[in-house]
Structure 1
Amino acid sequence: MSSTATPHGPEPLLRTVAGALPAASVGGPALAHEHLVLDLDLKGDGAAVLDARRHGPAVSRELAELREEFGLALVIEQTCRGMGRDPGALARIAEESGVAVVAATGWYYEPFHPAADLAGASVEQLTATLVREIHEGITGPDGRPTGIRPGVLGEVGSHGEVPSEPETRSLRAAARAAVATGLSVATHAQLGHGGLAQLDVLTGAGLAPHRICVGHQDLLTAPAVHRRLAAEGAYVAFDTVGKESYQSDEVRLRLLLALLEAGHADRALLSCDISRHGYLRSEGGQGYGHLFRSFLPAVRAAGVDDDLIDVLTRRNPLRFLTGASPEEG
């Protein structure tokens, strides 16, 4: 499991698909919320898919190019139960690209809940499922054990301003599993809504705010909500960078700068949330590198220096995963 850094404690470790990785060895930036393999194809049109065979090689090439060009060192891959997760494919992509990958567990928002997991299951039963997977490893798509253990709980989802009853159960289970195993929780807040309610559910189940990242806040044009989440101690994810059909990067930049100016630079996380094959560079999309090629240059042009960029892209993701404080990062 992840270990929390203390002045006299063990070196914090990340749990990647290739095994334990010292956080101190991660010298380059991280993408805090991505998908490398997934299947969210509810419409049947094949758009919301990243297939291991068809698209995996292109994903590996993109990550390898970003490692060479920008020093990309880590991807937090948040495809969880019911989202077409494939831990073996993640291991291959990590090996081929030379970029460390952290896999996830948990449940996405309600339309993607597997009935076999959620129907009639208590919070205690759901927690036991997650803890077992964290300790024993993820089962592959073929039903066989892989031995690959999750390093984060995410993206645990809800939609609307208040989680539904099944979503509340899955959030509580994620919080309890995080407390039991030392992992952190990243959420899916549909279109940015419901983050404060998610935080209340997670902390109410015993999880410390600094072990929580509230997702997709760059889709919510509400700086006051961002400030409140950060003030409570949670991480605030600006993690759909480049998805212009949802929100312009101009607005994302303004929202991020507002959070930084409010003194919460140590609580912001950045990523692109590539979640369909049409977003890949090989298919004409913005790709995983949009953050580095387009958005961060705009952040720098707005007056943010390289040390603060390192906070946003490296130190904060590592603190989130390990539970370290800013003083320890």
Structure 2
Amino acid sequence: MSPTVRTVLGDVEPAALGVCDAHDHLFLRSPVLAGQELDDPVAALTELTAFAALGGAAVVQWTPWGMGGRHDELPGLSRRSKVHVVAATGMHQAKHYDPEDLRKRYDRLAETFVHELTAAPVRAGLIKIAGSFHHLDEHARQVAAAAARAHHATGAPIGVHLEGGTAALDVLDLLCGTHAVAPGSLILGHLHRFPDPRVHVAVARAGAYVAFDGPSRAHHQTDWRLLDSIAALVDAGHQDRILLGGDTVTAAARSTADGPGMPFLLSGLRPRIEREIGGEVATAVLVTNPARAFAADWR
């Protein structure tokens, strides 16, 4: 069988994915973001529809297990908006969960991930995990081990939240070295927050995908480096490893509120990439690369 992308409406050929927001959220909740939940299906549909009106065809929701991803809502939103939606399983940093609940679940994480990827009513197509700032704590290592086991059992790609864009090479060492995950199955997120072109090139040279999940929030202040970071990877011969996402994590960040939201990828960033780096690069980043990055030989 050839690789396919697992969407909430079933598996599709990679070429059918189209213009893709490679990292975003339609629903999300966390005690860290109390009062800022993404929990409104109407607002989610409005955001998807606005994205589709600009040519958007697919959104990958990186909301992992236990953070209110509302998988039951996603098929209807996908049908109504005519946008492919890929859901995630996995687990974020420990601060997003109840500590006692975590201790009870560590031994069953891989089983949970595999179930959500292969047997849940609405199946996930991505395993999302997270590192810590400039290191990998014990929680991250346990979740990474479970994600690797689930990857080997299913073929699912793994997306990694890099805190502040850091510890990318540590993640590669752990997942590719210790746990034998093929680099081409890894998507390392938030690297625009750590705009070191040497690290970006090292990740791409290893064969993993470099995800620039912008626009930045105000406290990151790295938007002005984004195109330089993309250009540096292109100049190094790695335009085939770049992904772009919006990472909308609060209701205020949506285009229906005061934020740029999902549409900004296509209304703001795509024209700049086309104008300043080239249309071929824009197509690679938004269409060709996601079709490979999120495809798997499902088992």
Query: Scaled by the length of structure 2, what TM-score is found?
Result: 0.93
**What CA deviation, in whole Å up to 9, does each residue of 1:230-276 have, x standing for no partner?**
11111111012253442242211111111111111111110110000
The alpha carbon displacement at 1:120 in A equals 5.5
- Measure the CA separation in 1 of the matches of 2:288 and 2:296: 11
Partner of 1:22 in structure 2? 13
The alpha carbon displacement at 1:33 in A equals 0.4
In the alignment of these two chains, the number of paired residues is: 296
Partner of 1:50 in structure 2? 38
SS at match of 1:50: coil
The alpha carbon displacement at 1:105 in A equals 0.4
8 Å Cα contact 2:157-2:296 kept in structure 1? yes
**What CA deviation, in whole Å up to 9, does each residue of 1:174-204 have, x standing for no partner?**
1121111011000001110111111111112
The alpha carbon displacement at 1:22 in A equals 2.0
SS at match of 1:168: helix
Q: For residues 258 and 128 of structure 1, do their structure 2 counterparts lie closer, same or farther at Cα, with a shift above 3 Å needed? A: same
- Measure the CA separation in 2 of the matches of 1:87 and 1:69: 25
8 Å Cα contact 1:176-1:206 kept in structure 2? no
Partner of 1:36 in structure 2? 26
Task: Give unpaired runs (5+ residues) of structure 1.
Answer: 1-9, 138-146, 325-329
Task: Give unpaired runs (5+ residues) of structure 2.
Answer: none
SS at match of 1:119: helix
SS at match of 1:82: coil
Partner of 2:49 in structure 1? 64
RMSD of aligned Cα (Å): 1.8
Structure having greater relative contact order (Cα 8 Å, sep ≥ 6)? 2
Q: Kindly indicate whether residue 171 of structure 2 is the aligned counterpart of residue 198 of structure 1.
A: yes
**Selected match of 2:111 from 100, 125, 128:** 128
Query: Structure 1 runs of 4+ off > 6 angstroms?
Result: none
Partner of 2:206 in structure 1? 232
SS at match of 1:38: coil
8 Å Cα contact 2:54-2:267 kept in structure 1? no
Letter in 2 for 1:251: R
**Selected match of 1:75 from 59, 69, 79:** 59
Sequence identity, in percent?
A: 31
Query: Scaled by the length of structure 1, what TM-score is found?
Result: 0.85
Q: Kindly indicate whether residue 145 of structure 2 is the aligned counterpart of residue 172 of structure 1.
A: yes
Partner of 2:76 in structure 1? 92
- Measure the CA separation in 1 of the matches of 2:84 and 2:265: 18
**What CA deviation, in whole Å up to 9, does each residue of 1:69-93 have, x standing for no partner?**
22x1111111011222210122222
8 Å Cα contact 1:186-1:212 kept in structure 2? yes
Q: Kindly indicate whether residue 241 of structure 2 is the aligned counterpart of residue 250 of structure 1.
A: no
- Measure the CA separation in 1 of the matches of 2:123 and 2:174: 25
